[in-house]
């Protein structure tokens, strides 16, 4: 059989130029018109939009606004404006496309979107995180002007517990296909048997015959490996009635497969060729990975036969100063920073992600928990998804499972986060949570039986209605780290995943001069303020000694994770700070303190704690800074790995050797401040491994600029993230610097946004200046679409100016 497959594989040529592909996917993100505010008649073709703003998608209008506690979103929703916005785009479709089917795909619009083509109403989609499609074919004027109109209504707030953004904030594509084609999400590739020496690949492919005649369809599926080499080919033929779909079930065997793993995420590709006779009518690509996995009640998570801790984080969907407008490079940068820390997992809290985020996770090796809902029937906010639950939850869930089920990075479906239906009075017959749980799991399993299903539960006692439903493969715990050890006492024989952990709090670069081990739980409770008010400047010490009362410090969580094999993994709340939910403070705070990394992408000190535990790379991180006032006594902390001990020196005098004791993941010295130089050395068996230096800084004297990439694509979308540091005259960073810095960008790029990571700054992100925050700021520079140099200049009164050149290629 395998010889026959090889013969077929190499006897049928598939050399296809892009222009010859019967399927055309057109980037539909450029040259839109936008108006903020409701406009009667904007759905009509003849409406005049000449004075509307021109822009490219993705677009988030909320991020362009001013912060205010009076916005209906509230500080919990990011304290930025919502409202109603209209988008319009004029375009032509060639007369040569007659007979083809034409679709418009939206990856995400927040929210309550309504769409018209040439004045004809196509429909509404309330959920702002769902991808959806409309067919345009019957309403287009071939060879003439056509107009798409989109109304986006984010005026009824609060509708989210975090920053949502507003607008067409994800990609839009125009799809042109033959009448005989594979419809949206029309393939499903699974690997029912995976061994080291062989793997079975199973392919379900739906083909739609939208022609007026019954016809015989030939489907050829070609498998390509990670190097693009064809390794298998399968043919089948079926008859299809006019207007009907047919389902092909194909299977093939691959020898010596390359397995997908977090270290080496190898991707295969299934290329589907649809024929009528010898005429090719469609070509459709599906990327997939070959891997086996299971969750074990005693051993935790096992990938490709090897136990592996899921070392994950939760992230909300905003990209900091870019808002919710998705950008490939911005998301890639976040994942690169997390990967360097040793992170191998991502939970898409608490909504379906942009499709490109999963593409990145596929190729970079992340274990994704793909989450769908934050609420079911019972509300958390007055205008949230509970209003649409009855009408839309089945359609939304089905669409997401179909969309995402080919991604090898997706291992877990989560159908709810901290759902109020966890609780119910059994004496009064309230078992709503159990009924909905079983219904949702049945929907998922009708479309995908290859992954596990869970919910994220903050009620972990034995009366949790969702867990008691018996529907879920995994029990998801949010927080409660002291109960992980006793999990099987509460839930015998069940499997545990920590869906959300920690909720520790820090302001990057700020340290209260108190002992490191003085643990504080802020606020007093989720619905009560900090006892005593906290810090007057709305900061939280960046020592790992402040967490919410429902959470734990980072080190407390890490110990509980790694001490217990049955804990399959955890997703830390959160990887990055995010807009909204500014726990533990009220306004003027407007973004979170939870992140291991701040809103601008600058790591907080605990980043190196994770790197020291989650990677096998040598680490030595020393903190805090060494710029204090006379009389201060400071705890100096070191995170280290691949070494036995650390010795600390102050102005050349040894302050002693330290090594980790018991389960501690750090060492510390309590040091009276003296101006000068701290020097740390980590050693292994007496041999120096790494050194780290901290200097007392002088007054701000100059600016330094560094780019994460000095060469970017001249595609009009690519970004370079430029870090601005305020230095003293000796080149040491000034940790308290808050100088106002002016950015000037010229040449083949522009300044998209600026940030500094402060959770209390009310400066606009879309501005050409930014105050430094604890010595740092960020400029996000974007290609304008042409090749050439992009020049960035940063200046500030009294400081030496800095310049930088980025090349757009």
Which run of H or of E encompasses 571? strand 567-573
Q: Are 520 and 546 in contact (CB under 8 A)?
A: yes
Q: 514 φ, ψ to 5°?
A: -125, 165
Half-sphere exposure of 569 (CA within 13 A, CB side): 28
User: Residue 219 has which token pair?
Assistant: 């489907």
The count of residues in the chain is: 809
Half-sphere exposure of 565 (CA within 13 A, CB side): 7
Given 64, 224, 421, 500, which residue is catalytic? Answer: 500
CA 720 → CA 708, 712, 752, 791, 805, distances in Å?
6, 7, 10, 12, 11
- Report helix angle 606-614 to 554-562, nearest 10: 10
User: Residue 644 has which token pair?
Assistant: 């036995």
CA angle 434, 435, 438 (to 5 degrees): 85
Strand partners, 669: 636
Given 64, 418, 556, 645, which residue is catalytic? Answer: 418
Q: Are 249 and 279 in contact (CB under 8 A)?
A: no
Q: In what order do the strands lie in the sheet with 776-783?
A: 702-707, 719-727, 776-783, 749-755
Which run of H or of E encompasses 447? helix 432-447
Whole-number Å distance between alpha carbons of 543 and 474: 34
Whole-number Å distance between alpha carbons of 501 and 554: 9
Which are the contacts of 337, defined by CB distance < 8 A and separation ≥ 6? 597, 601, 603
Whole-number Å distance between alpha carbons of 565 and 578: 31
Whole-number Å distance between alpha carbons of 127 and 160: 12
| Count of beta carbons in the 10 Å neighbourhood of residue 243 | 12
Q: Are 688 and 645 in contact (CB under 8 A)?
A: no
Cα pseudo-dihedral 348, 350, 355, 359, rounded to 10:
0
In terms of C-beta density within 10 A (0-12 exposed, 13-18 middle, 19 or more buried), how is residue 751 classed? buried
CA angle 277, 282, 288 (to 5 degrees): 125
Which are the contacts of 387, defined by CB distance < 8 A and separation ≥ 6? 126, 379
Long-range pairs for 492-496 at CB < 8 Å and ≥24 separation?
Answer: 493/297, 494/297, 494/467, 495/295, 495/296, 495/297, 495/566, 495/568, 496/297, 496/300, 496/566, 496/567, 496/568
Strand partners, 789: 807
User: Residue 207 has which token pair?
Assistant: 């083909």
Closest CA to 219 of 206, 210, 231, 230: 206
User: Residue 730 has which token pair?
Assistant: 């000796």
Which are the contacts of 771, defined by CB distance < 8 A and separation ≥ 6? 738, 739, 740, 741, 756, 758, 761, 763, 777
Strand partners, 547: 504, 521
Q: Are 146 and 140 in contact (CB under 8 A)?
A: yes
Determine whether 500 is an active site residue: yes
Name the H helices within 459-553: 465-468, 487-490
Closest CA to 601 of 332, 804, 351: 332
Whole-number Å distance between alpha carbons of 139 and 770: 48
- The set of catalytic residues is 418, 500
């Amino acid at each position: 059989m395998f010889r026959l497959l090889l013969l077929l594989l190499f006897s049928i040529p598939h050399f296809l130029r892009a222009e010859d592909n019967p399927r055309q996917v057109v980037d539909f993100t450029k040259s839109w018109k936008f108006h903020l505010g409701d406009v009667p008649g904007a759905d009509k073709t003849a409406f005049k939009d000449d004075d509307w703003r021109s822009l490219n998608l993705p677009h988030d209008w909320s991020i362009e606004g001013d912060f205010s506690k009076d916005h209906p979103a509230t500080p919990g929703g990011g304290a930025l404006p919502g409202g109603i916005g209209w988008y319009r785009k004029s375009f032509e479709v060639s007369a040569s496309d007659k007979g083809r089917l034409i679709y418009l795909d939206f990856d995400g619009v927040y929210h309550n979107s309504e769409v018209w083509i040439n004045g004809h109403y196509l429909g509404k989609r309330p959920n702002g995180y769902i991808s959806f499609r409309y067919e345009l074919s019957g309403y287009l004027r071939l060879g003439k002007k056509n107009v798409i109109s989109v109304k986006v209504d984010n005026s009824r707030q609060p509708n989210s517990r975090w920053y949502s953004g507003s607008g067409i904030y994800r990609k839009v594509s125009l799809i042109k296909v033959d009448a005989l084609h594979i419809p949206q999400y029309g393939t499903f590739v699974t690997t029912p048997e995976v061994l080291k020496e062989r793997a079975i690949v199973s392919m379900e492919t739906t083909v739609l015959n939208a022609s007026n005649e019954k016809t015989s369809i030939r489907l050829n599926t070609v498998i390509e490996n990670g190097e693009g080499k064809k390794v298998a080919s399968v043919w089948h033929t079926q008859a299809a009635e006019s207007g009907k779909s047919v389902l092909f079930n194909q299977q093939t065997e691959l020898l010596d497969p390359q397995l997908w793993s977090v270290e080496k995420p190898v991707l295969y590709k299934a290329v589907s060729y649809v024929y009528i006779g010898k005429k090719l009518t469609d070509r459709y690509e599906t990327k997939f990975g070959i891997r086996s996995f299971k969750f074990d009640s005693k051993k935790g998570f096992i990938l490709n036969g090897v136990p592996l801790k899921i070392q994950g984080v939760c992230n909300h969907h905003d990209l900091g100063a870019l808002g919710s407008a998705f950008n490939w490079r911005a998301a890639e940068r976040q994942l690169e920073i997390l990967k360097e820390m040793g992170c191998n997992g991502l939970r898409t809290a608490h909504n379906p992600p942009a499709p490109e985020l999963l593409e990145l996770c596929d190729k970079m090796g992340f274990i994704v928990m793909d989450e769908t809902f934050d609420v079911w029937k019972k509300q958390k906010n007055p205008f949230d998804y509970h209003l649409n639950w009855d009408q839309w939850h089945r359609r939304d869930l089905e669409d997401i499972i179909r969309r995402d089920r080919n991604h090898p990075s997706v291992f877990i479906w989560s159908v709810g986060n901290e759902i109020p239906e966890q609780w119910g009075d059994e004496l009064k017959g309230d078992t709503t949570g159990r009924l909905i749980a079983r219904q949702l799991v049945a929907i998922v399993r009708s479309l995908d039986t290859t992954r596990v299903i869970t919910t994220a539960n903050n009620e972990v006692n034995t009366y949790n209605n969702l867990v008691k439903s018996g529907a879920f493969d995994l029990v998801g715990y949010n927080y409660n780290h002291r109960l992980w050890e006793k999990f099987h006492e509460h839930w015998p024989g069940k499997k545990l995943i920590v869906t959300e952990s920690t909720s520790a709090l820090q302001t990057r670069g700020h340290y209260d001069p108190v002992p490191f081990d003085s643990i504080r739980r802020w606020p007093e409770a989720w619905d009560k303020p900090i006892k005593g008010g906290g810090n007057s400047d709305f900061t939280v010490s960046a020592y790992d000694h402040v967490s919410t009362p429902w959470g734990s410090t980072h080190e407390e969580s890490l110990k509980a994770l790694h001490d217990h094999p049955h804990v399959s993994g955890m997703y830390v709340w959160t990887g990055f700070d995010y807009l909204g939910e500014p726990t533990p403070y009220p306004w003027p705070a407007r973004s979170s303190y939870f992140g291991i990394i701040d809103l601008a992408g600058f790591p907080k000190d605990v980043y190196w704690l994770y790197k020291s535990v989650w990677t096998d790379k040598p680490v030595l991180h020393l903190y805090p800074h060494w710029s204090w006032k006379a009389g201060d006594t400071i705890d100096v902390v070191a995170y280290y790995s691949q070494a036995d001990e650390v010795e600390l020196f102050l102005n050349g005098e040894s302050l002693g050797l330290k090594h980790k004791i018991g389960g501690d993941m750090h060492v510390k010295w309590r040091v009276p401040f003296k101006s000068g130089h701290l020097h740390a050395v980590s050693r292994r068996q007496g041999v120096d491994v790494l050194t780290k230096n901290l200097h007392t800084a002088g007054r701000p004297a100059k600016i330094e600029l560094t780019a994460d990439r000095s060469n970017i694509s001249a595609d009009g979308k690519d970004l370079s993230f430029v870090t601005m540091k305020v230095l003293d005259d000796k080149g040491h960073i000034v940790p308290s610097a808050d100088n106002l810095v002016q950015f000037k960008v010229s040449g083949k790029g522009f300044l998209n946004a600026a940030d500094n990571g402060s959770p209390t700054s009310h400066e606009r992100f879309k501005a050409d200046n930014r105050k430094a925050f604890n010595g740092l700021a960020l400029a996000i520079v974007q290609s304008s679409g042409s090749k050439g140099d992009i020049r960035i200049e940063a200046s500030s009164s009294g400081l030496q100016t800095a310049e930088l050149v980025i090349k757009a290629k």
